[in-house]
Amino acid sequence: MNIIEITDLSFSYREDVDALHNVNLTIKKGEWISVLGHNGSGKSTLAKLIIGLLKADSGDIFVDGILLTEETVHEIRRKIGIVFQNPDNQFVGVTVEDDIAFGMENLNFDRLDMIKKIDEFSKKVNMNEYLKKEPHELSGGQKQRVAIAGILAMDTDIIIFDEATAMLDPKGRESIMEYIRELNKEGKTIITITHDMKEAVNSDRIIILKDGEVLAIGETNTILNDKETLNASNLELLLPLKLLYKLDEANIKNEKVKDILWQLSLNK
């Protein structure tokens, strides 16, 4: 079943250039899809369009069968949670507890229910000992975890990570990636937006954007094997992949080595 269907989507900030041009995309329930692209490729614009923070110039977005319009946007936002890039600019509450509660308060959750959920999901992201802490006492990675807890508490089916790791140090980055993998296993539909191929290798499918257009879309394995497309994408190839391509070019056929390199590419 398709939880998101995007047809012929176009959007431009200025009249002369399209930030996104004719994007078509379907996402299945429970799938993890990575949107890969260089800076300015339109990937964050896509996220903002899906949750209705921007209004498309043309094309349709269906979420769970509902067409995104001004009337349905609030209904659709209840199905999608999004973690943005800057940890500081999405922390609304005065304390961790307040911030996890913010979305639930907007959705008029019962107070006792909120307290239960704050407890449950702060534990899930390992922030239960920080409930009374204020944002300036937390690291970037911790703030992003709080954002995740706030979204889990709202119980959305879909979670978008819009370069959620870009401003974190390697440790913070790895911890967020860990949660993404776990949430996907638990059945959440995940969209990660990134320019780092390392963060995309574990997803089910990859869509590559370049200058606002879809360059490629397909199963992760297929995309990673598509040398021409990846070279055209302006992205940085993973080192084992580069080696793999080089072996191919030199016509060296050693299945064992190839298999090892493939596994290394997939971060295994």
- Compute the least distance from the CB of residue 37 to other proteins, in Å: 8
Taking CB under 8 A as the rule, which mask of x and - marks residues 151-180 in contact with other proteins? x--x-----------xx-xxxx--------
91 interacts with other proteins by CB under 8 A? yes
- Compute the least distance from the CB of residue 170 to other proteins, in Å: 6
Token pair in block for residue 42? 């339109």
- Compute the least distance from the CB of residue 185 to other proteins, in Å: 24
78 interacts with other proteins by CB under 8 A? yes
Non-local CB neighbours of 121 within 8 Å, separated by 6+ positions: 100, 149, 150, 152, 153
Residues 46-65 that bind other proteins (CB under 8 A): 48, 51, 53
Nearer to other proteins, 8 or 137 (CB): 137
Residues 243-262 that bind other proteins (CB under 8 A): 243, 246-247, 250, 252, 254, 256-257, 260-261
Contacts of residues 197-202 at CB distance under 8 Å and 24 or more positions apart, as own/partner, are 197/36, 197/235, 197/236, 197/237, 197/238, 197/241, 198/238, 198/267, 199/34, 199/165, 200/34, 200/36, 201/238, 201/265, 201/266, 201/267, 202/32, 202/177, 202/266, 202/267
Count the Cβ atoms, other than its own, within 10 Å of residue 151.
23
Query: Which amino acid, one-letter code, is at 109?
Result: F
Site for other proteins (CB under 8 A): which residue of 126, 139, 231, 267? 139
Taking CB under 8 A as the rule, which mask of x and - marks residues 199-238 in contact with other proteins? -----------------------------------xxx-x
94 interacts with other proteins by CB under 8 A? yes
Nearer to other proteins, 67 or 94 (CB): 94
96 interacts with other proteins by CB under 8 A? no
DSSP 8-class letter at 232: H
Cα gap 118→56, rounded to integer Å: 35
The answer to whether 77 and 127 are in contact (CB under 8 A) is: no
Count the Cβ atoms, other than its own, within 10 Å of residue 179.
21
Residues 15-44 that bind other proteins (CB under 8 A): 38-40
Nearer to other proteins, 119 or 204 (CB): 119
